């Protein structure tokens, strides 16, 4: 019956497109916001429900300040942002009704030329003001900010200011007595002259940001009036080190206690004085100090990547090469300062000035510090955080950043350099946080005791290095480590017991490493991680999960297995030991529906993500699990909205109190991929429709006695089946029985059944692929073992209605071969054929065979085709492939078309 019904549906679909139930497209954005037009100013204003936060905008019509907009004070805050407008000036009186504001931003107006003195009069509650992105605002008049007595933060970024002297007179201490933060980033100021900050003498300013101001000059006394300056950001200017040193020394002499200094991307270069080299050493020839030459000790060149280096390298040769490298843990040198190590020049003086200051946090990101040896840096007591990322560092030798040099250092960023590894003694053993990501070196050597004395380290990030292998001694000494990040570190091999030294580890990120490809995940690897809470194994090329892989992880709360190649979870007991598990993510694998309960031991489980897998229907086990968790994400699966999906779902609806809620609220919204009629419509819609139309036969309604109903129903169906159904569906019912009983050899009936197929396969193809089909037919029919194929032009009875002819041919063919090519995908007729074949053979999945000719663009695929390509194994034919590859193709095709074992194959047709 269902076949007839589905065919009917298919026909209906072709007759008229089905209207989908669509939500009314109202208030979609965010119901809490309302947009009001203010006719006085021409602005549109967006208000949150309590109106404590209002955003006014309109690039075209908002030409005056929205002075009559209502902003309420909500929990002590009243925020107005006027952005992307064409307001030309801020006038006296504009803010007369807004004197209660605590935060105001008038940003991004190309027209703004003036802030009238007195415009802010009476704004004594304003704490935070931004007048930014106003390219035509060239200066602030002395009285422009008058009245802002409470103002703490002032943002004047990316305006048209060309000289500090055009702004600072407006920032005098009597105007802004409470000012703490001043941000002038991205104004083309060019220089800080001695008198520039004098109008601000006595200011309470603590934080000054002058990033990207094109500064080329800094007068030694330029910053002197800012006597409380604690945080100075000069990132991305081109000041020279000598000027900076002089200015810092001057501040120091005045007793200014600068705490934080950002000198990032300043083109500073720490040069090492070229000294005579011992003749016994390697050749110097000019490049020394800037590029890494071959290191005589480790014998590895850092310049040229050996050809075996490749993140996707998967050969054994790769592993051998790695072992060779990894078996050489010799540090580059342990010698004392070498004679050519002496640093020199203005950058060194600058570092000495910083060392004398009270700076605790120093950013040197993006400058150049090619090598760090014992003696390169001055001793810098007091320094707690140091950013040395992207400084082109190629060598770090013992004493370079050791506790003698930076005794108080807690956080260090060495990311984006070219360090070939880490050796003992280079870094301070008092570090708490170390970031050494993304070294450009062709491999990253973690010598066996690199972390031996780092017993205080809490967080270590070694991502995006080419580490290749970690042994059971690599991490010895890291007894306090809580967070270990090793994303995309080309890890091919992890030794058992590797994590044993890390008793306190809470978070381990191993994402993007191919190690499970070589040695599937073993429980022994995770020994000692009884305290681990988060384990990330996304993108690790995992194909399966050993039953006890996570045996040691009794505290694990979050497990991430996204983007692997897991094929099934059915019967897996991998999750059973994870008693504390709360969140599991297996999105974007290739998992199909599972029938066994997976999570009955994980009582804390709240969230399971299975998006982007190959789920075609929902099993009772999945439905039951959905009820136990807050979230079961099944988006982007390949749901086939047919009776396989309907039966368990509706049974569950009937037997469970919570089932209805779960299904509609949690699962009902996911989309069907096929059949075409239900494509992009929700499972919920389908279930409702199927229920209303009894499309999948009766589902027993008497919940407590469901099994009685089931038995009766079965008996009834059996009786009915032997009569009516047998007749109507005689061909494929017989086929179905065959596939079930196919392996039993002694059945004469079976032989008869096979014999009754007129063809071995029905071929569905596009006319444009005739050449291939012709080749296929001649090859299969003329060479032993002989097959008989049903091909449109040749075998269709003249005069029969085309659909009937197709139907009966499909019914009298053992299998259906789809020749999928771009032309096939474009042809509607073929799509329809595929559709029929697909439904008719739902009972026996291997009845359908896909042969692919060339690449078919995703955009061309109908949902049914997409579903088939996703879920069926297909053979690929390539015209230009070598003869032996083509022979393999034919052999596989013959194997796939061969009748089930035990039958005699085709009998002559009369
Ligand atoms: C300002 O808004 C109030 C209501 O919020 C309105 O009564 C008043 O007329 C407006 N003023 C002007 C000048 O439109
Ligand atoms: C003040 O405003 C600026 C920019 O509008 C914002 O970045 C900053 O976080 C605000 N400060 C506070 C304390 O809200
Ligand atoms: C160093 O290299 C240069 C050119 O690369 C060569 O001319 C010179 O002889 C070499 N010196 C020594 C001591 O090897
Ligand atoms: C660094 O050099 C000094 C003398 O120049 C020496 O006393 C100290 O031990 C060296 N430190 C290391 C770690 O080699
Ligand atoms: C590690 O500490 C031990 C003793 O605390 C010391 O002997 C050894 O030199 C240290 N190693 C390094 C590389 O600092
Ligand atoms: C290390 O630095 C990179 C790049 O700046 C950053 O993305 C990463 O979050 C840092 N790691 C940690 C643990 O903070
Ligand atoms: C590390 O593994 C080796 C064998 O590969 C073994 O002999 C050694 O005892 C292990 N060390 C530790 C600390 O487990
Ligand atoms: C699928 O349906 C959603 C609404 O449910 C719609 O926004 C989207 O455009 C549809 N996709 C296609 C490709 O039709």
> Token pair for residue 851?
């042969």
Q: Can you tell me the distance from the alpha carbon of 680 to that of 677, in angstroms, rounded to the nearest whole number?
A: 9
Say whether pLDDT at 279 is over 60. Answer: no
User: Three-state SS for 11?
Assistant: helix
Q: Which residues line ligand 5 (CB under 6 A)?
A: 424-425, 429, 452-453
- Closest ligand relative to 20 C-alpha: 8
Q: How far is CA 728 from CA 118, 210, 740, in A?
A: 92, 83, 20
DSSP string, 661-677: HIIIIIITTSBB-BSGG
Say whether pLDDT at 716 is over 70. Answer: no
Q: What pLDDT is recorded for position 795?
A: 62
C-beta separation of 544 from 522 below 8 A: no
What separation in Å is there between the alpha carbon of 336 and the centre of ligand 4? Answer: 6
Closest residue to atom 3 of ligand 7, CA basis: 472
What separation in Å is there between the alpha carbon of 488 and the centre of ligand 6? Answer: 13
Say whether pLDDT at 704 is over 50. Answer: no
Torsions phi, psi for 864 (to 5 deg): -65, -45
Nearest CA to 510 out of 473, 563, 548, 555 is that of 563
Confidence of residue 173 (pLDDT cuts 50, 70, 90): very high
Q: Can you tell me the distance from the alpha carbon of 98 to that of 67, in angstroms, rounded to the nearest whole number?
A: 7
pTM: 0.71
User: Which of 329, 452, 472 most suits a substitution to test ligand 7, by most atoms within 8 Å of the C-beta?
Assistant: 472
Closest residue to atom 4 of ligand 6, CA basis: 415
User: Three-state SS for 313?
Assistant: coil
DSSP string, 692-727: HTTTT------STTHHHHHHHHHHHHHHHIIIIIHH
What separation in Å is there between the alpha carbon of 452 and the centre of ligand 5? Answer: 8
C-beta separation of 82 from 112 below 8 A: no
Beta pairing partners, 446: 422
- CB distance 343 to ligand 4 below 6 Å: no
Q: What pLDDT is recorded for position 857?
A: 76
**Domain ranges within the chain, ordered by starting residue:** 759-897
C-beta separation of 852 from 820 below 8 A: yes
C-beta separation of 674 from 641 below 8 A: yes
Closest residue to atom 8 of ligand 1, CA basis: 68
Instruction: Please say whether the dihedral angle defined by the alpha carbons of residues 343, 349, 350 and 351, taken in this order, is positive or negative.
Output: positive
Q: Can you tell me the distance from the alpha carbon of 901 to that of 886, in angstroms, rounded to the nearest whole number?
A: 25
Q: What pLDDT is recorded for position 532?
A: 97
In the numeric block, the tokens 């890890």 are attached to: 491
Q: What pLDDT is recorded for position 329?
A: 42
Q: What is the pLDDT of residues 790-811, one digit of tens each?
A: 886 666 544 445 556 676 777 7
What does DSSP assign to residue 305? Answer: P
Q: How far is CA 27 from CA 20, 22, 35, 57, in A?
A: 20, 14, 11, 19
- CB distance 338 to ligand 4 below 6 Å: no
What does DSSP assign to residue 786? Answer: P
User: Span 608-619, mean pLDDT?
Assistant: 91
DSSP string, 269-284: B-EE---PPPTTS---
Longest CA–CA separation in the chain, Å: 111
Nearest-5° Cα angle at 497, 493 to 499: 90
- CB distance 648 to ligand 4 below 6 Å: no
C-beta separation of 820 from 848 below 8 A: no
Say whether pLDDT at 732 is over 70. Answer: no
Atom of ligand 4 nearest to the CA of 374: 1
Q: What is the pLDDT of residues 105-157, one digit of tens each?
A: 999 999 999 999 999 999 999 999 999 999 999 999 999 999 999 999 999 99
Say whether pLDDT at 403 is over 90. Answer: yes
Closest residue to atom 13 of ligand 3, CA basis: 283
Atom of ligand 4 nearest to the CA of 402: 13
What separation in Å is there between the alpha carbon of 284 and the centre of ligand 3? Answer: 8
What HEC string does 355-399 produce? HHCCCCEEECCCCECCEECCCCCCCCCCCCEEECCCCCCCEECCC
Q: What is the pLDDT of residues 746-767, one digit of tens each?
A: 333 433 344 457 778 888 888 7
**785 preceded by cis ω (within 30°)?**
yes
Q: What is the pLDDT of residues 857-881, one digit of tens each?
A: 777 777 767 777 777 767 888 888 8
User: Which of 453, 455, 478, 479 most suits a substitution to test ligand 5, by most atoms within 8 Å of the C-beta?
Assistant: 453
Q: Which helix (H) or strand (E) holds 894?
A: helix 883-897
Q: Can you tell me the distance from the alpha carbon of 694 to that of 2, in angstroms, rounded to the nearest whole number?
A: 10
Q: Percent of the chain having pLDDT more than 70?
A: 74
Report which of residues 789 and 725 the model is more confident about. Answer: 789
- CB distance 528 to ligand 7 below 6 Å: no
Q: What pLDDT is recorded for position 270?
A: 83
Q: What pLDDT is recorded for position 814?
A: 79
What separation in Å is there between the alpha carbon of 456 and the centre of ligand 5? Answer: 14
Say whether pLDDT at 324 is over 70. Answer: no
Q: What pLDDT is recorded for position 211?
A: 97
Report which of residues 275 and 419 the model is more confident about. Answer: 419
Closest residue to atom 1 of ligand 5, CA basis: 453
Closest residue to atom 12 of ligand 7, CA basis: 472
Range among 469-473, 733-737, 834-838, 864-868 rated most confident: 469-473
Q: What pLDDT is recorded for position 626?
A: 85
C-beta separation of 444 from 461 below 8 A: no
- Closest ligand relative to 402 C-alpha: 4
Q: Can you tell me the distance from the alpha carbon of 647 to that of 643, in angstroms, rounded to the nearest whole number?
A: 6
Q: Which parts of 72-172 are beta strand (E)?
A: 79-85, 89-90, 103-109, 114-115, 128-130, 153-155
Say whether pLDDT at 843 is over 80. Answer: no
DSSP string, 792-837: HHHHSPTTS-HHHHHHHHHHTEEEEEEEE-HHHHH-HHHHHHHHHH
Other C-beta atoms closer than 10 Å to the C-beta of 144 total 24
- Closest ligand relative to 484 C-alpha: 6
C-beta separation of 398 from 428 below 8 A: no
Report which of residues 439 and 858 the model is more confident about. Answer: 439
Q: How many DSSP H helices and E strands does the chain contain? A: 19, 40
Say whether pLDDT at 291 is over 50. Answer: no
User: Span 731-751, mean pLDDT?
Assistant: 43
User: Span 660-666, mean pLDDT?
Assistant: 65
Rounded mean pLDDT of the chain?
Answer: 80
Other C-beta atoms closer than 10 Å to the C-beta of 34 total 13
Report which of residues 50 and 909 the model is more confident about. Answer: 50
Q: Which helix (H) or strand (E) holds 258?
A: none
Closest residue to atom 10 of ligand 3, CA basis: 283
Atom of ligand 1 nearest to the CA of 70: 5
Q: What pLDDT is recorded for position 722?
A: 57
Q: Which residues line ligand 3 (CB under 6 A)?
A: 283, 285
Q: What pLDDT is recorded for position 292?
A: 33
C-beta separation of 172 from 197 below 8 A: no
- CB distance 294 to ligand 4 below 6 Å: no
Say whether pLDDT at 836 is over 70. Answer: no
- Closest ligand relative to 98 C-alpha: 1
Other C-beta atoms closer than 10 Å to the C-beta of 448 total 16
Report which of residues 732 and 772 the model is more confident about. Answer: 772
> Token pair for residue 664?
């509609």
Q: What pLDDT is recorded for position 661?
A: 59
- Closest ligand relative to 454 C-alpha: 5
Range among 68-77, 319-328, 805-814 rated most confident: 68-77
Torsions phi, psi for 263 (to 5 deg): -115, 30
Q: Can you tell me the distance from the alpha carbon of 833 to that of 810, in angstroms, rounded to the nearest whole number?
A: 10
- CB distance 128 to ligand 2 below 6 Å: yes
End-to-end CA distance of the chain: 30
In the numeric block, the tokens 């190590």 are attached to: 341
Q: Which residues line ligand 6 (CB under 6 A)?
A: 415, 435, 437, 459, 461, 485
Q: What pLDDT is recorded for position 830?
A: 58
What separation in Å is there between the alpha carbon of 128 and the centre of ligand 2? Answer: 6
Q: Can you tell me the distance from the alpha carbon of 553 to that of 522, in angstroms, rounded to the nearest whole number?
A: 12
- CB distance 834 to ligand 2 below 6 Å: no
What separation in Å is there between the alpha carbon of 373 and the centre of ligand 3? Answer: 25
Backbone conformation region of residue 760, classed left if phi is above 0, alpha if psi is from -120 to 50, else beta:
alpha
User: Three-state SS for 866?
Assistant: helix
Q: What share of the chain is helix, strand, coil (3-state, %, to 5)?
A: 25, 15, 60
Say whether pLDDT at 364 is over 70. Answer: yes
Q: What pLDDT is recorded for position 813?
A: 79
Q: Can you tell me the distance from the alpha carbon of 863 to that of 759, in angstroms, rounded to the nearest whole number?
A: 28
Say whether pLDDT at 706 is over 60. Answer: no
Q: Can you tell me the distance from the alpha carbon of 368 to that of 265, in angstroms, rounded to the nearest whole number?
A: 9
Closest residue to atom 7 of ligand 4, CA basis: 336
| Helices 643-655 and 706-720: angle between axes, nearest 10 degrees | 150
Q: Can you tell me the distance from the alpha carbon of 118 to that of 133, in angstroms, rounded to the nearest whole number?
A: 21
Atom of ligand 3 nearest to the CA of 283: 1
Range among 619-623, 741-745, 779-783 rated most confident: 619-623
Other C-beta atoms closer than 10 Å to the C-beta of 794 total 8
Q: How far is CA 612 from CA 565, 589, 631, 633, 872, in A?
A: 12, 7, 15, 9, 17
What separation in Å is there between the alpha carbon of 401 and the centre of ligand 5? Answer: 15
Report which of residues 182 and 841 the model is more confident about. Answer: 182
- Closest ligand relative to 127 C-alpha: 2
User: Three-state SS for 883?
Assistant: helix
- CB distance 674 to ligand 4 below 6 Å: no
Q: What is the pLDDT of residues 128-139, one digit of tens each?
A: 999 999 999 999
Beta pairing partners, 496: none
- Closest ligand relative to 428 C-alpha: 5
Question: Cα 315 from chain centroid?
Answer: 27
Torsions phi, psi for 479 (to 5 deg): -70, -15
Q: Percent of the chain having pLDDT more than 90?
A: 48
Q: How many CA within 13 A on the CB side of residue 452?
A: 8
Of 71-80, 300-309, 400-409, 693-702, the least confident: 300-309
C-beta separation of 365 from 264 below 8 A: yes
Provide CB contacts within 8 A for 320, sequence distance 6+. none
What separation in Å is there between the alpha carbon of 453 and the centre of ligand 5? Answer: 6
Say whether pLDDT at 23 is over 50. Answer: no
Closest residue to atom 11 of ligand 2, CA basis: 128
Say whether pLDDT at 20 is over 50. Answer: no
Q: What pLDDT is recorded for position 784?
A: 73
Q: What pLDDT is recorded for position 55?
A: 92
Q: What is the pLDDT of residues 680-692, one digit of tens each?
A: 899 888 888 888 8
What separation in Å is there between the alpha carbon of 892 and the centre of ligand 3? Answer: 63
Q: Can you tell me the distance from the alpha carbon of 697 to that of 56, in angstroms, rounded to the nearest whole number?
A: 59
Q: What is the pLDDT of residues 445-495, one digit of tens each?
A: 987 788 989 999 999 999 999 999 999 999 999 999 999 999 999 999 999
C-beta separation of 396 from 422 below 8 A: yes
- In the CATH scheme, what is the code of domain 759-897? 3.40.50.10140
What separation in Å is there between the alpha carbon of 832 and the centre of ligand 1? Answer: 65
Confidence of residue 223 (pLDDT cuts 50, 70, 90): very high
Of 461-475, 510-524, 543-557, 806-820, the least confident: 806-820
DSSP string, 638-649: --B-SHHHHHHH
Say whether pLDDT at 585 is over 60. Answer: yes
Q: What pLDDT is recorded for position 711?
A: 52
């Amino acid at each position: 019956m269902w076949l007839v019904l589905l065919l009917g549906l298919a026909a209906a679909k072709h007759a008229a497109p089905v209207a989908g139930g669509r939500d009314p497209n109202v208030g979609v954005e965010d119901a809490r916001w309302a947009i009001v037009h203010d006719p006085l100013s021409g602005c549109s204003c967006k208000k949150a429900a309590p109106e404590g936060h209002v955003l006014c905008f309109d690039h075209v019509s908002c030409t005056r300040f929205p002075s009559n907009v209502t902003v309420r004070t909500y929990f002590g805050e009243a925020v107005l942002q006027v952005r992307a407008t064409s307001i030309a000036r801020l006038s006296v009186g504009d803010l007369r009704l807004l004197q209660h504001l605590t935060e105001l931003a008038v940003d991004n107006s190309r027209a703004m030329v003036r802030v009238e003195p007195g415009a802010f009069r009476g704004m004594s509650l304003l704490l935070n003001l931004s007048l930014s992105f106003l390219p035509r605002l060239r200066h602030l008049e002395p009285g422009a900010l008058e009245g802002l007595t409470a103002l703490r933060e002032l943002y004047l970024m990316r305006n048209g200011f060309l000289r500090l002297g055009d702004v600072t007179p407006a920032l005098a201490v009597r105007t802004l007595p409470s000012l703490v933060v001043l941000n002038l980033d991205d104004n083309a100021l060019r220089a800080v002259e001695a008198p520039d900050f004098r109008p601000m003498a006595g200011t309470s300013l603590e934080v000054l940001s002058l990033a990207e101001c094109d500064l080329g000059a800094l007068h030694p006394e330029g910053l002197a009036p800012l006597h409380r300056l604690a945080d100075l950001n000069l990132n991305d200017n081109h000041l020279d080190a000598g000027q900076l040193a002089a200015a810092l020394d001057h501040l120091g002499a005045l007793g200014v206690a600068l705490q934080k200094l950002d000198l990032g991307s300043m083109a500073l270069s720490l040069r090492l004085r070229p000294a005579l080299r011992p003749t016994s050493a390697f050749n110097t020839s000019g490049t020394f100090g800037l590029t890494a030459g071959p290191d005589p000790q480790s014998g590895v060149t850092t310049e040229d990547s050996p050809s075996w280096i490749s993140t996707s390298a998967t050969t054994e040769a790769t592993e051998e090469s790695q072992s060779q490298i990894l078996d050489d843990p010799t540090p580059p040198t342990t010698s004392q300062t070498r004679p050519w190590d002496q640093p020199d020049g203005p950058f060194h003086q600058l570092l000495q000035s910083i060392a004398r200051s009270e700076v605790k946090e120093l950013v040197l990101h993006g400058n150049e510090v090619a090598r760090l040896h014992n003696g390169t840096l001055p001793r810098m007591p007091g320094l707690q955080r140091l950013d040395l990322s992207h400084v082109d560092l190629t060598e770090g030798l013992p004493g370079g950043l050791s506790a003698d040099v930076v005794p108080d250092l807690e956080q260090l960023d060495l990311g984006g350099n070219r360090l070939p590894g880490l050796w003992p003694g280079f870094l301070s053993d008092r570090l708490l946080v170390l970031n050494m990501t993304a070294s450009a070196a062709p491999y990253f050597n973690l010598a066996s005791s690199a972390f031996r004395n780092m017993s205080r380290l809490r967080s270590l990030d070694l991502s995006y290095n080419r580490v290749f292998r970690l042994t059971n001694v690599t991490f010895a000494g890291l007894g306090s480590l809580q967070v270990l990040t090793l994303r995309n570190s080309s890890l091919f091999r992890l030794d058992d017991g590797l994590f044993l030294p890390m008793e306190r580890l809470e978070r381990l990120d191993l994402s993007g490493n191919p190690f499970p490809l070589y040695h599937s995940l073993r429980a022994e690897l995770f020994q000692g991680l009884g305290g681990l809470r988060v384990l990330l194994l996304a993108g690790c090329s995992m194909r399966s999960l050993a039953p006890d892989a996570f045996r040691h992880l009794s505290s694990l709360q979050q497990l991430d297995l996204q983007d692997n190649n897991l094929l099934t979870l059915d019967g897996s007991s991998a999750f059973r030991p994870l008693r504390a598990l709360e969140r599991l993510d297996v999105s974007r694998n290739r998992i199909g529906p599972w029938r066994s309960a997976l999570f009955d031991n994980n009582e804390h489980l709240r969230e399971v993500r299975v998006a982007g897998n190959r789920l075609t229907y929902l099993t009772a086990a999945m439905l039951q699990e959905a009820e136990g968790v807050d979230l079961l994400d099944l988006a982007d699966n390949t749901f086939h909205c047919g009776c396989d999906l309907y039966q368990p779902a509706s049974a569950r609806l009937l037997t469970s109190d919570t089932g209805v809620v779960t299904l509609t609220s949690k699962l009902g919204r996911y989309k069907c991929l096929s059949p075409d009629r239900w494509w992009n419509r929700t499972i919920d819609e389908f279930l409702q429709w199927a229920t209303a139309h009894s499309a999948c036969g009766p589902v027993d309604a008497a919940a407590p006695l469901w099994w009685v109903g089931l038995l009766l129903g079965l008996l009834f169906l059996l009786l009915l089946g032997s009569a009516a159904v047998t007749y109507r569906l005689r061909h494929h019912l017989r086929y179905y029985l065959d596939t079930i009983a196919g392996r039993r050899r002694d059945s004469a009936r079976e032989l008869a059944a096979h014999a009754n197929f007129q063809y071995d396969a029905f071929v569905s193809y596009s006319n444009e692929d005739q050449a291939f089909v012709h080749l296929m037919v001649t090859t299969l029919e003329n060479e032993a073992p002989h097959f008989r194929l049903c091909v449109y032009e040749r075998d269709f009875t003249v005069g029969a209605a085309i659909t009937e002819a197709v139907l009966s041919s499909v019914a009298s063919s053992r299998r259906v071969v789809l020749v999928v090519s771009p032309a096939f995908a474009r042809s509607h007729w073929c799509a329809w054929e595929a559709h029929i074949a697909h439904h008719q053979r739902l009972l026996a999945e291997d009845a359908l065979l896909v042969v692919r000719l060339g690449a078919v663009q995703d955009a061309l695929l109908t949902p049914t085709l997409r579903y088939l390509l996703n879920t069926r194994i297909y053979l690929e034919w390539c015209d230009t492939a070598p003869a032996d590859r083509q022979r393999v193709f034919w052999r596989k095709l013959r194997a796939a078309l061969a009748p089930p074992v035990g039958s005699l194959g085709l009998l002559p047709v009369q």
